[in-house]
Chain A
Amino acid sequence: MLQCIFILSDSGEVIVEKQMVGHRVDRAICGWFWDYVLANAAGDPSKILQVVVSPTHYLFQIYRNGVTFLACTQVEMPPLMAIEFLSRVADVLTDYLGDLNEDIIKDNFVIVYQILDEMMDNGFPLTTEPNILKELIAPPNIVNKMLNVVTGKSSTLGSKLPDAAASFVPWRTTVVKDASNEVYVNIVEELDACVNREGVLVKCEAYGEIQVNCSLPGVPELTMSFANPTIMNDFTFHPCVRFRPWESDQVLSFVPPDGQFKLMSYRVKKLKKTPIYVKPQLTSDSGNCRVSVMVGIRNDPGKPIDSITVQFQLPPLIVSADLTANYGTVDILADKTCLWTIGQIPKDKAPALSGNLRLEEGLAQLHTMPTFQVKFKIMGVALSGLQIDKLDVKNTPSAPYKGFRAQTQAGKYEVRS
């Protein structure tokens, strides 16, 4: 049972306070929390654990775009429930407000407060389904704002109980207005890989999500099957997915919510190949360290590889760094991070970064080695090889338009040196 939720800015200031139960939690706890963050993670809440024990309360926190969601309890409760709930609050707010930052929350504090009020009752999640929430509390939009300016009044609260609130498919609004009768399926994969110092691929796996944007009238019945379902592990499903058909035939059968949602997520483990290679080399002697990083295509995925960047933390104890690349731009950021932006790999040459690091006086060799973090994006292909076999839509008046696409990007793609 959560006793209260605080939304904190990135300087630790309380933006919104929402008490949930009779015992008021003093906001001094936020001060304690921020001191803790300063002491343990130099002011970066993403670097501390999500469960923190304070002298008076147990705190749960998540960090999104510079905004910290902090919840307090004094009694035993499943910690994952609190963390998941805070994440859900952050998702819903992002959904409502378009983005999430201190100013947006302050501008829309009335809505934020109402959403918190509706999502949690007596410290326990009440209505978290976005489509019901949206009927109870209208999202802010430009029409509302203009009306507000013109008439001096505004309304964000619905006056009718959404039908879905009591239905067996609470995620779906029963009456979908102006549906364009189309459904889009998007496979988004993240490639997590780890290459060790010898250049051996230690771990390579894809985490994938199937996102569906659905605009169908009535109560449609969708069935989706895969050409190769066996490659997937560790699936999680949206509540709309029925477990039985999946257990027996590995078929997804569901009544979709309206709009965009995450249908399922999965992992494909033990992949053998990465699309690009990154070969860093650091050799140091007598106070100098030569850096050279080569990047190139290893296995052509058949589609262009976009927005390639290589990033690494400069080792401590260096006096100066002189790094240049034959392609792309090299920036050394404020926190001693070197960011090499490549973009697409050119056809005629292999991009290479080279340069010199000058070590501190009296130091002959580097004793710690940086880890290179690689980012890229490939549109139009799912690197895990997952393929959707077919998507059937039933219970709609006319055959809908169906669209499919895929994309892969680098997740935690790390190359050690």
Chain B
Amino acid sequence: MFGLQSSGAAASWVVGRMGTDAHLYDDPDDASIPALLDSRFDADKVDALKRLLALIAQGVDVAHLFPQVAFPISLLRFSSSSSSSSCCCSHYSIRLTPGSELRTYRWSRTLHRSRWRSRSLFTSTSYTTPTSINSFPRCGSRRQNEALLSVNIFQKDLSDINPLVRAWALRTMAGIRLHVVAPLVLVAVKKCARDPSAYVRKCAAYALCKLSDLLPDEAMALEEIVDILFGDNSPGVVGAAALAFKTVCPSCLALVSKHFRRLCETLPDIEEWTQIILIEILLRYVIARHGLVKDSLLSVEIQGINDSDPVASMPTQHDSAGNGLCGTISNIMLFRHYIEEFSGFPDGEGDSLRLSSVTTSGNNDVAILLKCTSPLLWSRNSGVILAAASVHWIMAPIGDMLGNILVFAKTMPLLFAPFYEEFFINASDPYQTRALKLEILTTIATEPSIQAIFEEFQDYIKDPDRKFVADTVAAVALCAQKLPSIATTCLEGLLALVFYESSISNSGHFDGEDAVLVQAIMSIKAIVKVNPVSYEKVIVRLVRSVDKIKEPAARCLIIWIFGEYNFMGSLISRIVSAVLKYLAWTFTADVVETKLQILNASAKVIMHCPEEHMEEFKRIVAYVIELSTYDLNYDVRDRARLLSRLLPCYTTRRGPSHHPPNGDICKELAYHIFDGKLQPSSPSTNNYRIYLPGSLSQVVLHAAPGYTPLPKPQSMGLSHNKIIEPNRNNNSVAESGSSIYESSSVYDSESEGDGLSDRGTDGSLHHQDNQDAPLVHIYDTSIQQGQTGQNAEENFADLISTDLTELMSKSALESWLDEAPADTLVQNSLQASSARVTFTNHSFEQKPKLHTLLDSSDSNGLRVLYAFSSEVSPRSRILVCVDLYLENVTTQQLTDIAIKSEEASSGVDSIGQTSEGSVSVPTIVPVEGIHSLAPQQTAKMVLEVHFHHHLLPLKLSVLCNGKIHPAKLHPDIAYFVRPLPMDLNAFLCKENQLRGMFEYARRCAFKDHLDKLEHSDKNLQVAHSVASKILSNTNVHLVSMDMPVTFNVDDTSGLCWRFSSEIPSTSKPCLITVLAEGHASGPLDLTVKVNSEDTVFALNLLNRVVAIIE
């Protein structure tokens, strides 16, 4: 395409490298960049800028050079008209045309965007990262001025004749992520949204996206601009507007309604990237506006749920073995998760969807959307194809649906059945692709196609990738279960494979062969399970091969099959005695797992054995048990002992005459243990891809941050109102102490109120220490945990005896003993017996920490202390309440005490004037001052602060006796949240939605409990002290406290606290989980985990919680 370039490539290496910037890339630092920037020569400056760019591209922080770059650029712009030669100093251009000041933008923009915007002090002010700004406060303000200086120039250039200059000026301006500048950018965007050049309008839409998080208060203004841009007649601008819509106000679907028809018509003309976004918006709009389409897959399934009892129709994995059933089950699952309303209620509460929320495909809007998206299936961009396909998947009537991915196949296998050849595996496919294709093939296999698919599978068996071969073998079993007609063929093939593998895998040459062998036997097991009697011969042949198979896992499986079906049919029973003898003979040579299987199998045999063989079998079993009683491994010895107790009449050599007193019970128990029906588990059912097709969540199998399900059908009016009118309860009574709190948890408000009157002369404020035993509930078990915990050991013993089956399972035991990682521990502790103790917030002593705002020595005797209060401000939920305790420590009257924010009193900040209110610096709600304070008197004030999630100290001025005393209020992120009462199930449900990126964890040590370990139940004491520590320093709700039931009272592993809260400004939940490890008598090892969608906030909160604990 580039003729010149190709000739350049043909030139020699020297020529090729000549004139490139390679040397700059390799050693950007070999000359002093500041010196070059200050040079008089343009070439030097250009060189310096190139070096800077090289540094940026290599990820070096060049923020410190910003002044040198920005300032000349600013000056340059002013002088550009007079001297054209200085123009080029900031751009590395050979053309000295007057219009070339453009390059200035290039460079400054480049700088802005790379380092500056991300790492520089600017940005730190806009996010809640407190560290950097604290260390360079002066530096920060200087940069700010420089930025403002450059903004001035950009503003001028917004009225340049050249549209490219306007566009770049706007892009650069929007790139400065500074709260101070944001309002100016908004003005610029408003202007550019009406620009004659479509390119500038498009850039305005992009700039909107950048503004949305800087100006949360200006949402209405931003929406208006989106509205204007949606009405644009240039397709490029409409596309960009869709992007802005998605970022600025994704839930304002009402905005779409007046443009809907035109948007649909423009859809094919806009850029491919924005097509993806716009399709999604339109789909959401149609669902919210008109509901689901009648006869579409989605609505059919939801009606299905409504028609039947919700509980009964809840999918259970156990019956998914059935052929047709499998599809419908995943349908229900799938669509529940697609729609917002449903996904929140896993237990079927959301089924109250009315049939009225269903529309027909004849609906105009739906028809237009379907019509406009269908040609997009021919796009060259696969993202567009998938987006268009998912519209049809969700909206179109079943009859004319299209689609091409696994989910589609899972729910509607028939769609893809004719195209099975597409999914045949290529040698060059990576493993994951192969596995996926295999799964699809298995899913879409039908009677006519299975023969061809099966032949393919046979070819795959010879593949060098043995892991893939094992997968294929598993797939064979799944196909056989689906289509019983081929089961016999499959079994033959699998048996042949088992014999073949067992012959070669002994030679020890191969890595993956064991896996193939084991998988083959597992597949046989799965197929046989469906109808064991008819596959009797297969079982016999398999069991006969047991002596050839050395792989322990494979042996175990065969022995299990033998034990399980030993009484079936006529053939097996004939070989039972021979096999049992063989097993007894090889017993000592086998590994532990196999020994355990042999013991189990012999128990099963003995329970089903016919009378005539009884004596013989008894002798063998008794021999095996005797062998294992002297085994080196304690598991084997334990199992043997268990068997001999459970089946005493069979396993001792004494005759049947000896009957223990409770023999019948034992026998009953034995039947339940060894004869229980196994839960069939299908390997493919556990990873439902339940997220919307084409989403990232669908790929990574968890809800990624920002994932939103489809809106509730016909919910548009509702959701719109919600946006417009935020929750404002106008309880204007700004009274402290009596908080109106809608939570169900009992909130103890009296302590604050009493605090003042109770306090002693020393000025320290202590709340009534509430040392009484807390209110304890234990559920999950029937045991009453004593308040003093004295009979704890007895209780535990009691618990153990009632929970025999749990003890039998090895995993439950292990979960108590092992040091499992945090996540699994939470789950295990749920399965294992652990007492869940409920405390409400008020059962803990809450000692809010007092901080000094103003010391009496600095201020003529006025001492001001403050404590963060957990109350909710009656004005707005986003305000944080701070209790101020003012005390006069002098002997004279103090008058005219008032608290003001420093900015308001000094009246600085010149730029702030244009943008007051919208700049989100922390602000306080003005409070009435105290007229006079008598000596030794104390007064309390409640200060309501809007911190905007800033963690910088808030500068206040305390006015007293006519003097101004500066003071600093240090924000506490732990009080930026408010308690969100929820029960444990809701908590776990939420937590599951907030995994992956939303999860932050840190470890820390806890020592406080060591001081007061006089309590007899140490665990309870520890639990109590951690909970009270957290509750008295943060504003959260205690959801639950899990205590492990252990043999060792000192062991705290498994102690788990869960706290819930929400971020008031966004109403996003913020969940805190604390897990303990270690011994109660020593320092505890705590793992603190925070799950929240607002990741920056979560990280800060996590650090704060850790600091509190330590």
Among listed B325-333, B420-428, B837-845, interface-contacting one: B420-428
B46 partner residues in chain A, CB cutoff 8 A = 153
Return B804 CB to nearest CB of chain A, in Å.
40
Q: Closest chain B residue to A265 by CB distance? A: B380
Return A43 CB to nearest CB of chain B, in Å.
14
Residues A17 and B58 in contact, CB atoms below 8 Å apart: yes
Q: Which of B1, B6, B276, B463 contacts A260 (CB 8 A)?
A: B1
Among listed A196-204, A273-281, A378-386, interface-contacting one: A196-204
Q: Closest chain B residue to A259 by CB distance? A: B1
B109 partner residues in chain A, CB cutoff 8 A = 117
Q: Which of A48, A97, A113, A370 contacts B57 (CB 8 A)?
A: A113
A125 partner residues in chain B, CB cutoff 8 A = 271, 273
Q: Does A218 contact B (CB under 8 A)?
A: no
Among A96-127, those with CB < 8 Å from B are 96-99, 103, 106-110, 112-114, 117, 121-122, 124-126
Q: Which of B9, B385, B431, B452 contacts A236 (CB 8 A)?
A: B385
**A145-B123 Cα distance, complex, nearest whole Å:** 38
Taking residues whose C-beta sits less than 8 angstroms from the other chain, chain B's interface range is: 35 or more
Q: Which of A14, A81, A369 contacts B383 (CB 8 A)?
A: A81
Q: Does B455 contact A (CB under 8 A)?
A: yes
Residues A53 and B996 in contact, CB atoms below 8 Å apart: yes
Residues B92 and A109 in contact, CB atoms below 8 Å apart: no
Residues A77 and B380 in contact, CB atoms below 8 Å apart: no
B697 partner residues in chain A, CB cutoff 8 A = 76
Return B822 CB to nearest CB of chain A, in Å.
14
Residues B464 and A166 in contact, CB atoms below 8 Å apart: no
Residues B21 and A108 in contact, CB atoms below 8 Å apart: yes
**A362-B22 Cα distance, complex, nearest whole Å:** 56
**A197-B459 Cα distance, complex, nearest whole Å:** 7
Q: Which of A84, A161, A265, A371 contacts B162 (CB 8 A)?
A: A161
Residues B113 and A117 in contact, CB atoms below 8 Å apart: yes
Return B982 CB to nearest CB of chain A, in Å.
24
Among listed B95-103, B306-314, B1047-1055, interface-contacting one: B95-103
Residues B700 and A144 in contact, CB atoms below 8 Å apart: no
B507 partner residues in chain A, CB cutoff 8 A = 362-363
Q: Which of B50, B93, B198 contacts A166 (CB 8 A)?
A: B198
Among listed A180-188, A223-231, A313-321, A397-405, interface-contacting one: A313-321
Return A248 CB to nearest CB of chain B, in Å.
11
**A106-B53 Cα distance, complex, nearest whole Å:** 12
A81 partner residues in chain B, CB cutoff 8 A = 273, 276, 383
**A157-B163 Cα distance, complex, nearest whole Å:** 15
Residues A144 and B22 in contact, CB atoms below 8 Å apart: no
**A259-B1 Cα distance, complex, nearest whole Å:** 7
| Given A51-B699, A141-B2, A363-B509, A124 and B273 contact (CB-CB distance below 8 Å) | yes
**A125-B239 Cα distance, complex, nearest whole Å:** 11
- Number of residues of chain A lying within 8 A (CB) of chain B: 115
Q: Closest chain A residue to B708 by CB distance? A: A76
Residues B8 and A141 in contact, CB atoms below 8 Å apart: yes
Residues A157 and B704 in contact, CB atoms below 8 Å apart: no
| Given A22-B117, A122-B206, A239-B272, A27 and B378 contact (CB-CB distance below 8 Å) | no
* Contact string against A for B residues 246-272, beta-carbon threshold 8 Å, 1 for contact and 0 otherwise: 010000000000000000000011011
* Contact string against A for B residues 107-128, beta-carbon threshold 8 Å, 1 for contact and 0 otherwise: 0011001110111000100110
| Given A58-B997, A141-B5, A236 and B379 contact (CB-CB distance below 8 Å) | yes
Residues B464 and A78 in contact, CB atoms below 8 Å apart: no
Residues A14 and B380 in contact, CB atoms below 8 Å apart: no
A305 partner residues in chain B, CB cutoff 8 A = none
Return B482 CB to nearest CB of chain A, in Å.
22
Q: Does A237 contact B (CB under 8 A)?
A: yes
Residues B97 and A139 in contact, CB atoms below 8 Å apart: no
A370 partner residues in chain B, CB cutoff 8 A = 464
Residues A412 and B426 in contact, CB atoms below 8 Å apart: yes
Return A413 CB to nearest CB of chain B, in Å.
10
Q: Which of A16, A95, A153 contacts B94 (CB 8 A)?
A: A153
A262 partner residues in chain B, CB cutoff 8 A = 380
Q: Does B662 contact A (CB under 8 A)?
A: no
Q: Closest chain B residue to A106 by CB distance? A: B25
**A202-B50 Cα distance, complex, nearest whole Å:** 57
A46 partner residues in chain B, CB cutoff 8 A = 430
Q: Does B707 contact A (CB under 8 A)?
A: yes
Q: Which of B19, B163, B1095, B1096 contacts A144 (CB 8 A)?
A: B19
Q: Which of A78, A147, A161, A165 contacts B387 (CB 8 A)?
A: A78
Q: Does B386 contact A (CB under 8 A)?
A: yes
Residues A18 and B57 in contact, CB atoms below 8 Å apart: yes
Q: Does B656 contact A (CB under 8 A)?
A: no
Q: Closest chain B residue to A373 by CB distance? A: B427
Residues B164 and A161 in contact, CB atoms below 8 Å apart: yes
Q: Which of B118, B197, B706 contacts A76 (CB 8 A)?
A: B706
Q: Closest chain B residue to A77 by CB distance? A: B696
Q: Does A79 contact B (CB under 8 A)?
A: yes
Q: Closest chain A residue to B705 by CB distance? A: A75
Among A227-252, those with CB < 8 Å from B are 235-239, 241, 243, 246-247
Q: Does B971 contact A (CB under 8 A)?
A: no
Among B171-206, those with CB < 8 Å from A are 171, 174, 177, 197-199, 203, 206
Return B658 CB to nearest CB of chain A, in Å.
55
B163 partner residues in chain A, CB cutoff 8 A = 161, 166
| Given A18-B57, A202-B421, A202-B424, A58 and B704 contact (CB-CB distance below 8 Å) | yes
Return A255 CB to nearest CB of chain B, in Å.
13
Q: Does B531 contact A (CB under 8 A)?
A: no
Residues B997 and A56 in contact, CB atoms below 8 Å apart: yes
| Given A19-B118, A58-B696, A78-B276, A49 and B432 contact (CB-CB distance below 8 Å) | yes
Among A31-71, those with CB < 8 Å from B are 41, 46-49, 51, 53, 56-58
Residues B164 and A109 in contact, CB atoms below 8 Å apart: no
Q: Which of B93, B700, B1095 contacts A53 (CB 8 A)?
A: B700
Q: Closest chain A residue to B49 by CB distance? A: A110
**A282-B208 Cα distance, complex, nearest whole Å:** 66
Residues A106 and B22 in contact, CB atoms below 8 Å apart: yes
Q: Does A360 contact B (CB under 8 A)?
A: yes
Q: Closest chain B residue to A24 by CB distance? A: B118
Residues B198 and A141 in contact, CB atoms below 8 Å apart: no
Q: Does A349 contact B (CB under 8 A)?
A: no
B16 partner residues in chain A, CB cutoff 8 A = 107
Residues A113 and B110 in contact, CB atoms below 8 Å apart: yes
Q: Closest chain B residue to A170 by CB distance? A: B236
* Contact string against B for A residues 157-170, beta-carbon threshold 8 Å, 1 for contact and 0 otherwise: 10111000110101
Residues B707 and A76 in contact, CB atoms below 8 Å apart: yes
Q: Does B918 contact A (CB under 8 A)?
A: no
A21 partner residues in chain B, CB cutoff 8 A = 118
Q: Does B1009 contact A (CB under 8 A)?
A: no
**A122-B908 Cα distance, complex, nearest whole Å:** 33
Q: Does B210 contact A (CB under 8 A)?
A: yes
Residues A236 and B380 in contact, CB atoms below 8 Å apart: yes
B717 partner residues in chain A, CB cutoff 8 A = none
B174 partner residues in chain A, CB cutoff 8 A = 122
Return A67 CB to nearest CB of chain B, in Å.
14
Excluding A166-B199, A202-B456, A237-B379, 17 further A-B contacts by CB distance (< 8 Å) are A17-B59, A18-B114, A19-B118, A107-B17, A122-B210, A124-B273, A141-B2, A153-B46, A159-B95, A159-B99, A165-B199, A166-B236, A170-B271, A196-B456, A202-B455, A203-B421, A313-B464
**Interface CB pairs A-B, < 8 A, 13:** A18-B57, A18-B114, A75-B706, A98-B9, A113-B110, A121-B206, A142-B11, A143-B4, A149-B18, A159-B99, A168-B235, A197-B458, A369-B463
Pairs of residues from A and B, 8 with the lowest C-beta to C-beta distance, nearest first:
A145-B19, A24-B118, A80-B383, A141-B4, A243-B375, A166-B198, A153-B94, A75-B706
Q: Mark A residues whose CB is within 8 Å of B.
A: 1, 14-24, 27, 41, 46-49, 51, 53, 56-58, 73-81, 83-85, 95-99, 103, 106-110, 112-114, 117, 121-122, 124-126, 128, 139-149, 151-155, 157, 159-161, 165-166, 168, 170, 194, 196-197, 202-203, 235-239, 241, 243, 246-247, 259-260, 262, 265, 313, 315-317, 360, 362-363, 365, 367-371, 373, 412, 414, 416
